[in-house]
Each structure stands twice: as C-alpha cells, then as structure tokens.
Chains A and B, each alone.
Chain A
C-alpha cells in the first residue's frame, strides 16, 4: 500500500503524521456547527435535498432479533421506499450483520434492487473486541456472502491507549481484504473517542490507511453523529483532499431521525467539504427511522399538508 505517500507504515512515520495535525477547539467547533444549523433552504432545494438524502440512506437493521423476514422487508423498502410513488429514489444501501448479507443480496437482486448495495458491519461489530484472526474471518464471511460495502469498527481500546499503529494496521489489513470487491467504511464510535481531537486524529489515521469512507458511530453508543463531530470529519476529508487529491466519503450514523436533521447534515457537507460531496458515493447517512420522515416530508411538499405515519410503510 502506498498510503498516499503520507506514511511509510512504520509507527514512527504514523506518529509524525498524526502529530502534525492541528487541534480542534471544542467550543469553536460547536459554535460553527450551531451556526450552520440556522441555515434555511429554498423549497425547490428542499425537495432536491430530501431526494438526495433518501439516496444517501444506508437503511439499517442491526438487532439481535433480525430474521430473514425482517431483512427482506428492509430490502423491499430500500428499493422502493414509497410503493405508491415511483419517483422516490432507492436508498444507497442496506446495512446488516454479516450473517444476513447473503439473504439481503439475494432478495435485493430478486426484486430489481441490484443497484442497492449491501453493507456489512464487520470486525466484531460493535465493540471490536476480538482477535485479528476473527476480524479477518468476519470480514471474509461478509465479502464471500456478497457484501459490497464493509463497515468495520476500529479498536477504540487500542486507539485510546495510544496504539495508533495497531489501529492503523487493522484497517490496512481489512482494506487489503476488501481489495476491489467492497468499499471500506471505518467506524470510529466517536461517542467513545469523546474528544474532537481524537475524531480528527482517527479520521486522518483511517484515511491514510485506505478507508473509502469514515463513519461516526455504530448506532449502539450515544452520542453518535452530532453535528460538530460530522463537521470535524468533513473538515478532515476536505483537508485530506487538499493533501492527496482524493475524496474520502463521510457517513454519520446514529441519532439522525428526521428530515430537519438530515438537511442540517447536508448543509454541513455543502459548507464544509463542498458540494462535490453531496452525492451518495461520498456521503451516506446510517439510519432507519429517518427514511419514513423523509418520505412524509416529501408527501407534505407534494400535497401541501402534513402526512400521517399511517401513509408510510413500517419496515
């Protein structure tokens, strides 16, 4: 791996690379995110924003109680979020545990959803507490079952103990495993990294290690995709693009439940990384309940009155 020429794979070079990053002032970042949250957008733009947000959703079910039936229902919804309106785009991907990948892939292909990706959470999701051998096997299983996207978790314990090279090497190995078969999203679990300095550091670490996407959270820990955390990650991909001419994607996940939240995320993208990132290939939103709110808002814009949850499907 070339690591963009930023590091040579050694501990020393990684420390030097991460050590050169500027810090993040929490209060300043919070203030900037709060200010951007006050932007309001045009009605025509809002319609576009809702459809864009729908196409960016990684429709997610990550429960111990997941069954083939539940996953198949999710896939159906992913392909045609609103069965009564064919103009509603499909979502970006479904996101499932890796034992459900095969079922999801098969069902999507069956119902004309070949264009919808299957993202598998991997590397001992959500805690990441397993041997590397298990993590590799976990990922291999998902790839073999047809996953087109791997959402791996980093070892937060290693990160917090300062073992950056350990975290780096894990990402590198999973990235090598993905090769050209799947896109790699690296989940930080920002609620456990706690500080924005750590979020920025993890972002640069993961990007140099070959991540295609950096992702906030598993959805199992709060706080998750807060606006300032996403801001810090968007600043990181923007700066990384300056350094390498490579655009890395960002995926907030967890806590984005309604249209207003989703549009705030798009405003953050537009003002921070730039409009080039306003595409499902560079921005995804990990969510489940969000999709129905987006659909209801879309109905409201079309019909002129507020919709009822009775008119949108449950998963």
Chain B
C-alpha cells in the first residue's frame, strides 16, 4: 500500500453554462450573429458558443459606454460610484466558487489557483479600487481628477477574470466607462461578470462586454469613440496597438511580455528558492507574462539547485485541473501548445540539455510536462523569447554583477527574482535590475495595492496601487 492522493474534483454543478452567448451591451445581453466554440483545454470538450463581435456590436458598445459616461457615470459622485464597486466585490466573493470552477473549465488552470489566487484577487481589486472613487484628488503627483471617458480594454487568456478586474476596477473608480473584450478562448468568466454587474444594478452601459477575436480587438482599438486603450497581451500586438493609436489622442497603457530572470545567489535559502523557482515558472502552466522563465544560478550552487529542482519537479502533480491536488493544469490552447513545443525544440537543436519531469499526460486535451533546459546561454532563443509555458531555461553566473548583467540583457523588463539571505545584496540587486516588479525571496505575488508593470518592451504604465489608478486619470501637463 502506498500513499496516494485522491482525485478530489471540485463539483461542476455550481456552474451553469449556456449553450450560446451574446454580448453585454448597455446593461443587456444581446444576441450575437456569428459564433465560435470555446472549449475546455483539459478535455477538448466544447463548453459553449461565443459570439464574434463585428463593427455593429463594437459600435453599439462604444455608444452605450459614451451615453453612460455622459449621462450617468461622469455625473455621479465618487462616493456613489465607489458603492457600486463595493457591491461588485461582494457579489464576486459570494459567487467565488462558481467563478473559480468556470475559470478552470474554460482556461485549464488548476482549481487550486483559480480558487486561491485568481478569484479572491479579482474581488480584492474591486474592493481596493472602490475606496479610490471618492479620493481621486489624493491620487498623487502628476494626475488630475478627470477620467479619460470611454476606455477600451482588451485582456488575455491567462488570467481571464483577474485581468478583467485589473482593467475594469480602476477604470470605473476613476470615472471612466468601459468596453471590454475578453480573449477569444476564455470569455466565460467575463460573461458571468456581466451578470454580476446586473445583480449590482450597475447603471446600463458603464460596463460593456463584447466577445471576439483579434479582429474585434482591432475594432475597439481603432474606434474613434474610444478615449483610452488598455491592453494586456503580447509585445507583438502591443506594438501594433501603439502604432494604431499613434496618430490619435487616445491614451494607452500596455502590459506586455517578459522573460524574467530569477537569480539565485549562493547564500540563498535554497529550499525556499526551489519553491520560488517552481512557483515562478510553473504557476499557471507558465502562462504568465512575469514568469521567472530564466533561472540564473550562481555557479557555486548550480549543481545543488538543479539537482534539488529536478527532484522537486518530479513531485509536481499534472492532470485534471478541477482536482484540488493538481499543481499543473492544461495548456490553454492547441495553438499555444504548438508554440511551446516549437520553441522548446530550438532548445534541443541549439544544444541545450532538456529534462522533463516524469509524468503521465492525459490523452485528451493540451498538455506539456514541466521542463528545464540546462546549459543555456544568452544567445539561445529559449533564453531570449517568451515561451509562455512550463519551460525553464537555466543559465549560470560567477559574480553578482555578471548575474545582473545577464538578467538585464533582454528587451523585456517586466519582473525579476532575487534569492539571497543578505539584505544589502538584495537591495543592491533590486536597484540594478531593470524591471518593474522585483520579487526578493519570493515570486509571483500580486496585490491590488502593489503597482505592476514593466520597463522597456514589457509595456507602458502600471496596474494596481496609486500608480495604476493614475493610468485612468488624465495626466497634468500632458497634451
């Protein structure tokens, strides 16, 4: 007899998925015209049919948002606006289990993460920003108290509900109205959020949700009725958006890709560093823009760390995302799986050494085992390009400055990790690293009070905290 963990599946019965969804415009669900399927990436089961918004739908959503902005939302006091956000936060908490199960079904992420991270943090974002609504005059240097107007928001598939919260909560708190487009693969929790808006009796048109693919996103970006664009996604698309809005007066914030370094100094608390590496790159299947996908080890501890890391990786439980014991869920889409496979293959051909944790992958659905490449150098593609999957590239350094230089040798600058038990070294390294979020002796921690966002090609602006709020207020002195 051995010690086996039970499949402890979370019940699906808490969610009811409609066979077909429309858009949420002007406070009402309106039928879509064209539809495409959304699937459970862990089983390839078709969950529902999602509408593809075209010119008419986007235009209707923008008009509804404009009307709500001019007639209702911009006239309402901050105090009253805040109350709606508090209501939304509370309803999200009440329906947390439903959101978590739905998110896991649609996205493939482990229920442990949707239950313990995505959904509680999403509610916390509304709670935090609710309190800002009547305190905009204290939002700090360089910001006015004036909103932009109508915000167009385009979010990715990796944290569907959480990214919605990061976008919608500050926008509404600052007094903007929104047109939001979830990612085509993961629209369901956004559509459930539309129900929350109804239950909260949010005035019609303050939040509008249109579903669709990149073409719908482009319609939002290019719509003349939009004053502010907020996008989270790839650097490639971020640049397209930056060019598209260049000739306009639209304000833009971008939260884009990364290739974060996780630097382990020889004096690190090794066992916690191992957990940090695991959490850094295997959290959410590595579908995290700030994932610690480059492990940069001091040579004196490199062998020990790699050895311990492999042993720890062998304990990662991969499988049914609804199982509460699952650590690593499904890759979000076939397309993403192929990308991960292709980029990993370049690691092989470029001479890095691949090791994957021994594990049985389910026959159906999209899966990739936790994988590390050792012997990686700065010039390998897997050290430079964002893989966005459970794949870790391991590099080494000899002196602290060399470690920092390697960490900074990238066009990205979203996040970085430092592991050391020496305080002055941590502060030194955190000053040297060119990244917007530095996790010292921890990794992948998020909080609504904590600004998040990148340097260089990782994006424009911050989300969270006072700095994130300011992105939804007009700048003082800017044209």
Contact = CB atoms under 8 A, between A and B. Distances in A.
Please say whether the chains A and B touch (CB closer than 8 A). Answer: yes
Nearest to A46: B6
A41 B6 contact: yes
A43 B7 CA distance: 10
B403 to A, nearest CB: 17
Nearest to A28: B272
B120 to A, nearest CB: 14
A278 B275 contact: no
B441 A42 contact: no
A2 interface: no
A48 B3 contact: yes
B421 interface: yes
Contacts of A23: 267-269, 421
Interface string B438-461: 000110000000000000000000
B465 interface: no
A271 interface: yes
Interface of B is mostly: loop
A267 B5 CA distance: 9
A236 to B, nearest CB: 10
A189 interface: no
Contact of A32 (B7, B268, B270, B275): B275
A29 interface: yes
Pick the most buried of A39, A44, A48, A270: most chain B CB atoms within 10 A of its CB.
A39
Q: Is the interface on chain B under 10, 10 to 19, 20 to 34, or 35 or more residues?
A: 20 to 34
B272 A24 contact: yes
Nearest to B422: A23
Given A23-B269, A24-B272, A27-B442, A38 B112 contact: yes
A284 to B, nearest CB: 17
Contacts of B94: none
A266 B3 contact: yes
A213 B193 CA distance: 54
Interface string B302-329: 0000000000000100000000110000
B271 interface: yes
Contact of B275 (A31, A46, A49, A270): A31
Interface in B1-29: 1-8
Contact of B8 (A25, A40, A235, A266): A40
B292 interface: no
B5 A25 contact: no
A104 B8 CA distance: 43
A238 to B, nearest CB: 9
Interface in A268-304: 270-271, 275, 278
Contacts of B276: 28
A278 B271 contact: no
Contact of B269 (A25, A31, A38, A48): A25
Contacts of B269: 22-25, 28
B421 A39 contact: no
A45 interface: yes
A28 B275 contact: yes
A45 B5 contact: yes
A44 B5 CA distance: 10
A71 B227 CA distance: 80
A43 B6 contact: yes
A41 B1 CA distance: 13
Contacts of B3: 41, 45, 48-49, 266-267, 270, 275, 278
Interface of A: 22-25, 27-29, 31-32, 38-46, 48-49, 232, 235, 266-267, 270-271, 275, 278
18 contacts: A22-B267, A24-B271, A24-B272, A27-B441, A28-B275, A28-B441, A29-B272, A32-B271, A41-B3, A41-B4, A41-B5, A41-B6, A42-B4, A42-B6, A45-B1, A45-B2, A48-B3, A267-B3
Interface of B: 1-8, 112, 267-272, 275-276, 315, 324-325, 421, 441-442
Ordered nearest first, which 10 A-B pairs have the shortest CB separation? A28-B272, A42-B6, A25-B272, A23-B421, A40-B8, A25-B269, A48-B1, A23-B269, A22-B270, A45-B4
